Chain A
Amino acid sequence: MSTLLPTDATSSVAELLTPRKMDHLRALEAESIFILREAVAEFARPVMLYSIGKDSSVMLRLAQKAFYPGKIPFPLLHIDTSYKFPEMISFRDNYAKEIGADLIVHRNEKAIADGANPHDLGTQNCCGLLKTRALLDGLEAGGFDAAFGGARRDEEKSRAKERVYSFRDGNGQWDPKNQRPELWQIYNSRLRKGESIRVFPLSNWTELDIWLYLYTEQIPIVPLYFAREREAVIRAGQITLTYPETRLLPGEKIETVMCRMRSLGCMPCTGAIRSEADTLEKIIAELISFRRSERENRAIDHDEEGSMETKKREGYF
């Protein structure tokens, strides 16, 4: 049978016959694109939860790739707790504009007006109001039946248990003991009214994969990830960046620290790490040498054993 080969004189026969090698990043990329397309094809109203962090940056690039040459066929939803770093907010607004994405920002305005903060409420309650509640409300307001999230299974042990399609009941809650079987790459997107599914295209990526991909793809990220001298206080052993409006606790002194963020969350609850890594190359080199996990500097994960599981059950990402 004649397979008609293009008559491009510059391309060698070998090149025509052989597809690209599937190294692990290509394999992960292809799997994520498959997942994004599958969800867009089957759900009525998907949305992407955009957290402005490095994982979101990768997920956004994958979405650009999945629907190219078309545009991203769903809006981005950012849950703004009002405690996000100013650098995150300006990055978010600029980047969404640059790539022409449709950005929705949702906040629990009532809780913010009531002065919800982690010092008085504790991190669990504060997260519950400003993140989980806001997220559930934001999803409901938009009538979204599927939400893409950038969570990875290697982040935390309860996440390691989660499906790519994570089913949520009418209250947005996760039942880890009763998950739908998920065989091969055949995803079940069937829902009843009010139910929804969180879709995790980056499930199988590790932190190192994310950085390698950011590097090879030259994807823009929030400058806070790169080391430089920053003003901070040392609070409960954690390097907490300070801004003009930061509320200092008694006895705290602002100092200048050479540091960067490994993971981005809310200002009061996310610590920086001491680091000189001011380029992606250096960050990757540093990552290989790390002996401690990326979420160690996130207060919310450490309130008690299994606290992430509790939050996830309640509807947190």
Chain B
Amino acid sequence: MATASAVTDFRAFLDSHLDRELLRFTTAGSVDDGKSTLIGRLLHDTKSVYEDQLASVAKSRVNRAGSGRVDLSLLTDGLRAEREQGITIDVAYRYFATAKRKFIIADTPGHEQYTRNMATGASTADVAIVLVDGSKGILPQSRRHSFIASLLGIPHVVAAVNKMDLVGYDEAKFRAIEADFRTLAKRLGLRSVQIIPVSALEGDNVVTASANMPWYTGPTLLDYLETVPLREHVADQPLRFPVQLVVRPDRTFRGFAGQVASGIVRAGQHVVALPSGRRTQVKRIVTWDGDLKAAGPGESVTLELADEIDLSRGEMLISPDAHSNSVPTVSTAFGAKVVWMHEEPLEVGKTYLLKQTSRVVRAEVKRISYRVDVNSLEHLDATELKMNDIAEVEFETNLPLFFDAYRENRVTGAAILIDPLSNATVGALMIDRAVSTATRSDLPALLAAAHIDLAERLREMLAAAGHRAVVLHGFSPEEVPVAVRALQLAGVLAIVAGAVEGATVLNASDDAGLIAALAEMGVTV
């Protein structure tokens, strides 16, 4: 058996390993700027490459690094076609850890043809490393990728001005590119920007500070990655819990499985289900490891609710706090930034499948508001979108979506488009806002009935006439407006039993009386 000290050592070692946070970063930039070489350098200099892997790269027939050096880009360019063509085609995921953090790297292709693969790698990143070739400056593709990084809401962007060895480690060259990048970053509205001069080939300022550039006193790339603050604010956001799956092992248990998209869910708290508007309480937060008192963003849990309410996959639980932003937008019409990713163009009038959280709906393209010129950032007119185009597009869906603006919530504001015939993933959507639909019936949003039986009868009559309506149960007076707003946006009419602000109380002894009372309000059933 191990000695006592060996056991404590192991514990300490284990704790330090378990305690580390996860940071996801992506590379971006123009073809041949040195992205893959930089990642290879980072892995190599942090001793994250196994000897046999390095040896197999060293003996590869392909080598673009020259003069007896190992071509470190081959550590990530793992497809045969990539090695043959000397370019990255699809994103490669690599992993390494230091004493401070654990990292997931997405090394993406610079070639314009593979922009969709860049977007794939960048969509989940906390940090984007935009490479700029120091001997060439900022190229159109560097702009495009910086733009996509800003659209994808990547919180931090670091520009790595690479190949400084080719320009004699010249400070003036670096400062000029630095100024250009700052201008670009400002126009794109990037909030956290760092600019570092590096040589991926020689290793300057990647892991070790460069002796060739004493004029640079900032962090190395690794220092930066180890210390850049990770976003934690998602916990302060309102609760969004998209339901993935209903877990029903037997008649005694019905739970709603899902991953907390934002905010915190607590045992005992009140929640509202969308789109039904039904309100209930979280009875238990169930996990295999035991019940939790609270679960935060990113946690996969199963919620057991206090009441038997109608709720299934594609629907959502939110908290009914009276804050203005506590309710997501519920709408069938919205505008979104679109990155088009398919050879077949996006066309106005065409209907696609749209998947957002666990919800799949049909979405018709109503209008292309404008297309963005990635160089000038100008808005241009467009009638269709070609592969790699970026545009603002308005959609209308057959069922309402519950969403937040993407810049506020990277989970509930994101969606993909799928071609219903080929099943290809054709577009990435970052939702901006709801737009008003042309026609909506003029029903009041809220009806009050004198008592609960009447409320139920009212609902039946409305349903028979083709209106969607629900009876609100158990809401406190201050919560009613929030629920009503959510329902209204979903095109669902709310009915309460009893007096409530802003609604005339309907009272009638029979159906004829009800019909007459409704008619007076302009509602025909």
On A, residues with C-beta under 8 Å from B are: 1-6, 11, 15-20, 22-31, 33-34, 37-38, 40-41, 64-71, 153-154, 156-161, 163, 176-177, 179-186, 188, 190-192, 203-204, 206, 208, 212, 215-216, 279, 281, 284-285, 288, 290-293, 296, 305-306, 309
Contact = CB atoms under 8 A, between A and B. Distances in A.
Interface of B: 2, 7, 10, 13-14, 17-22, 50-53, 56, 60, 75-76, 78-81, 83, 89-95, 97, 102, 104, 116-117, 119-120, 123-124, 235, 244-245, 247-249, 253, 255, 257-259, 264, 266-270, 281, 286-289, 292-300, 302, 313, 319-322, 341, 353, 355-358, 410-411, 414-416, 418, 423-425, 428, 476, 478-479
Cβ-closest 8 pairs across A and B: A157-B78, A19-B296, A70-B249, A190-B423, A33-B300, A293-B50, A183-B123, A65-B288
Q: What is the interface of chain B mostly: helix, strand, loop, or mixed?
A: mixed
17 contacts: A1-B321, A2-B270, A5-B268, A5-B269, A6-B268, A19-B299, A22-B296, A26-B299, A27-B298, A30-B259, A34-B259, A66-B300, A68-B288, A158-B79, A160-B92, A180-B425, A191-B423
Nearest to B94: A160
Contacts of B93: 153-154, 160-161, 203-204
A157 B299 CA distance: 30
B10 to A, nearest CB: 5
A180 B428 CA distance: 12
Contacts of A38: 244, 358
A181 B95 contact: no
Given A16-B294, A27-B22, A188-B418, A37 B51 contact: no
A188 B423 contact: yes
Given A1-B320, A161-B91, A292 B247 contact: no
Most B CB within 10 A of own CB, among A26, A159, A177, A186 = A186
Given A20-B292, A22-B296, A23-B21, A68 B425 contact: no
A19 B22 CA distance: 17
A212 B17 contact: yes
A216 B18 CA distance: 10
Nearest to B77: A157
Contact of B95 (A5, A153, A186): A153
A41 B266 contact: no
Contacts of A181: 116-117, 119-120, 341, 416, 425, 428
Most A CB within 10 A of own CB, among B95, B248, B270 = B95
Contacts of B104: 204
Given A30-B259, A158-B78, A292-B52, A22 B90 contact: no
Given A5-B269, A31-B300, 7 more contacts: A67-B257, A160-B93, A176-B79, A181-B120, A204-B93, A204-B104, A291-B50
Nearest to A158: B78
A11 B291 CA distance: 13
A157 B355 contact: no
A204 B106 CA distance: 11
Most B CB within 10 A of own CB, among A37, A65, A67 = A37
B113 to A, nearest CB: 11
B410 A184 contact: yes
A5 B56 CA distance: 59
Given A68-B286, A281-B2, A309 B79 contact: yes
Contact of A70 (B7, B19, B248, B416): B248
Contacts of B289: 65
Nearest to A21: B19
Nearest to A33: B300
A288 B75 CA distance: 20
B244 A1 contact: no
A216 to B, nearest CB: 7
Nearest to A68: B288
A25 B10 contact: no
B275 to A, nearest CB: 18
A19 B268 contact: no
A28 B258 CA distance: 15
A153 B90 CA distance: 14
A67 B247 contact: yes
A82 B446 CA distance: 69
A190 B2 CA distance: 53
B401 to A, nearest CB: 13
Nearest to B92: A160
Contacts of A156: 78
A238 B237 CA distance: 55
Contact of B253 (A15, A22, A25, A69): A69
A313 B296 CA distance: 40
A6 B423 contact: no
A153 to B, nearest CB: 5
B484 to A, nearest CB: 16
Given A68-B287, A181-B425, A188 B416 contact: yes
Contact of A19 (B83, B89, B123, B294): B294
B479 A160 contact: no
A180 B294 contact: no
A296 B415 CA distance: 40
B52 A188 contact: no
Contacts of A309: 78-80
Contacts of B124: 184-185
B270 A4 contact: yes
Contacts of B476: 2
Given A27-B298, A160-B92, A69 B245 contact: no
A145 to B, nearest CB: 13
B58 to A, nearest CB: 12
Contacts of B235: 19
Nearest to B107: A160
B423 A183 contact: no
Contacts of A19: 235, 264, 292, 294-296, 299
A307 to B, nearest CB: 10
Contacts of B322: 1
A4 B116 CA distance: 46
Contacts of A27: 22, 298
Nearest to A160: B92
Contacts of A180: 424-425
B294 A17 contact: yes
Given A25-B18, A67-B247, A154 B94 contact: yes
Contacts of A4: 268-270, 281
A183 B80 contact: no
Nearest to B244: A37
Nearest to A204: B104
B287 to A, nearest CB: 7
A20 B291 CA distance: 12
A290 B423 contact: no
B52 A293 contact: yes
B416 A186 contact: yes
A160 B268 contact: no
B266 A37 contact: no
Contacts of B248: 70
A176 B20 CA distance: 33
A188 B104 CA distance: 22
Contact of B81 (A177, A179, A203, A212): A177
A31 B75 CA distance: 26
Contact of B247 (A26, A69, A161): A69
A115 B247 CA distance: 46
B358 A41 contact: yes
